[in-house]
Structure 1
């Protein structure tokens, strides 16, 4: 299971932005050199007008970074203007609605975190969109592990000690999340279920306030996206106890997975993907999938994203649609059994 939900904390956003210029140059280089004139009808169609890449969250963070890489790559490939439109608000729903209503030509695309596709449909039954009928799955782009971390003042030095501490002092260990029903809230609930830890959920309105309270010691624990937490872990302001991926993160090679730490069944990875309006012609979708694969498999882009805690992960077309369906089905029973409702 994997997910994400909300944009990154501001400090981490600045760190991400430091590498954006290099990423954009690499994306342009991938598809702008040595090209011949588009030959297929799909290529001719895509080269006919500008692109608009909608990021449904504020600038900064992985959604914005990935959208800009995609935008630069398509601009170079098709010699067309391509803009990133940050349409934040309503937990991403404003930007998502823009793509739902866009002309299905392949020129308006949505870069979106997994939670908007796999969690919100169960969490918010009255959403203004239906993933399976309003959007065509185009491709996943990248993924990042989540990290269970604590303020250094917490005496627990590993996961087993944290679980023991929570049981010995009921209601003394709490964890911050970006909000009720967010992917990171659900990751905490899954950890609680699998470990037997006695931990309390503290919901915030966004990632930054919760992370700030953990850094300040008001809340002892957080499960957060690696790109957001990494600079604080490296500076010693947070202590990483485990990652939620099935494998260790290259950026935190010394930190065990939760399974290695004795808590199996919490494989929760954040990922980000691209969808298009549902009626976009199949040949156009196939061509865009090929373009995206080429853009994001460039070694320079891979290396720069890895430094930021992101791993390029490309799954396209129906296979990507199946990822969305399976994860939606896997999160639904957790949301319902825990009686989690959006607030």
Structure 2
């Protein structure tokens, strides 16, 4: 019996090595679980182009949006684990949806092979110029003095921009009113027009308004100041200790991907994300490049799932 198991294991190892030796020999499909446009689509296309140069085959981005990323991730789960169908997984489908929606048609821990992280998306807190506040302590004081009167916009329920606002309210013991919009663009316009008090936005969606003086930037959601926006203080250093609410994106494959192919993919992705010229290109777009292996990425996802799951439960956030 033991000999049979050993032979089987050796046969599987040989098959995996053979598959990796011939991989890739055809185009690779990269599923992005959101519509074209936005940070996740942007980084996916940038990385896909770099992977094409590394792997010498086409890497085709396939946008499959819907249900906050759930539809795209379910499609990836059902794909053949041969290295020719991959997926960009952003914050939401793995770390938010299971708690927010109650159930999803996949298991983040069992149905995927983690390849590695790509980027973090720092969020910037911007307040309307008509709100009557110019600092974060003033915003918090206003929220405490007028419970529910301070409002914040987001790109939708369960989006990172929503959860960042909910986390700020929770961390400061205040009551703030969430107003959901259809995307980061409308959420930013709501602050510009004074419809809401503030918003959390990614660099591409809000910094141009901050830099032009149309809205007032109060802080960034990272624990340390960003190299490209060093003048912007962190929310944590302004008294909200430990505040961090960035979203992220990485690459995964269906469960059962041969380890040798997974290793090739991880190596190629790390080389892309550690390239100085590419890192500069990414940071110029308001993103923070990340580098790591599949285990690093999976650990990051699990940590975030615990954090956001606790917040969603304690704040009684419900999907509509």
TM-score (norm 2): 0.90
| Shift in alpha-carbon separation, 1:286–1:258, aligned structure 2, 3 A | same
User: Are 2:59 and 1:82 equivalent residues in the alignment?
Assistant: yes
Give 1:244-323 correspondences, 5 Å limit.
Answer: 244-323=221-300
Moved more, 325-334 or 272-281: 325-334
Instruction: Note the C-alpha offset of 1:213.
Output: 1.2
| In structure 2, C-alpha distance between the alignment counterparts of 1:81 and 1:180, rounded to whole Å | 35
User: Are 2:82 and 1:100 equivalent residues in the alignment?
Assistant: no
Moved more, 129-138 or 179-188: 179-188
Instruction: Note the C-alpha offset of 1:190.
Output: 1.4
Q: CA-to-partner distance for each residue in 1:8-49, whole Å, 9 max, x for gaps?
A: xxxxxxxxxxxxxxxxxxxxxxxxxxxxxxxx7455332222
Instruction: Show the counterpart of 1:225.
Output: 202
Instruction: Show the counterpart of 2:147.
Output: 170
| In structure 1, C-alpha distance between the alignment counterparts of 2:232 and 2:197, rounded to whole Å | 19
| Shift in alpha-carbon separation, 1:62–1:179, aligned structure 2, 3 A | closer
305, 313, 317: which one pairs with 1:336? 313
Q: Is the 8 A contact 2:122 2:288 kept in 1?
A: no
Give 1:106-121 correspondences, 5 Å limit.
Answer: 106-121=83-98
TM-score (norm 1): 0.84
Moved more, 87-96 or 278-287: 87-96
User: Are 2:47 and 1:70 equivalent residues in the alignment?
Assistant: yes
Q: Whose Rg is larger?
A: 2
| Shift in alpha-carbon separation, 1:41–1:228, aligned structure 2, 3 A | farther
Instruction: Note the C-alpha offset of 1:319.
Output: 2.0
| Shift in alpha-carbon separation, 1:111–1:313, aligned structure 2, 3 A | same
Instruction: Show the counterpart of 1:138.
Output: 115
| In structure 1, C-alpha distance between the alignment counterparts of 2:314 and 2:146, rounded to whole Å | 26
| In structure 2, C-alpha distance between the alignment counterparts of 1:292 and 1:181, rounded to whole Å | 28
Please give the root-mean-square deviation of Cα atoms over the aligned residues, in Å: 1.7
3-state SS of paired residue (1:257) = coil
| In structure 2, C-alpha distance between the alignment counterparts of 1:128 and 1:76, rounded to whole Å | 34
| In structure 1, C-alpha distance between the alignment counterparts of 2:121 and 2:55, rounded to whole Å | 30
Unpaired runs of 5+ residues, structure 1, are 1-39
Q: Is the 8 A contact 1:146 1:224 kept in 2?
A: yes
Q: Is the 8 A contact 1:145 1:270 kept in 2?
A: yes
Instruction: Show the counterpart of 1:30.
Output: none
Aligned residues: 304
3-state SS of paired residue (1:241) = strand
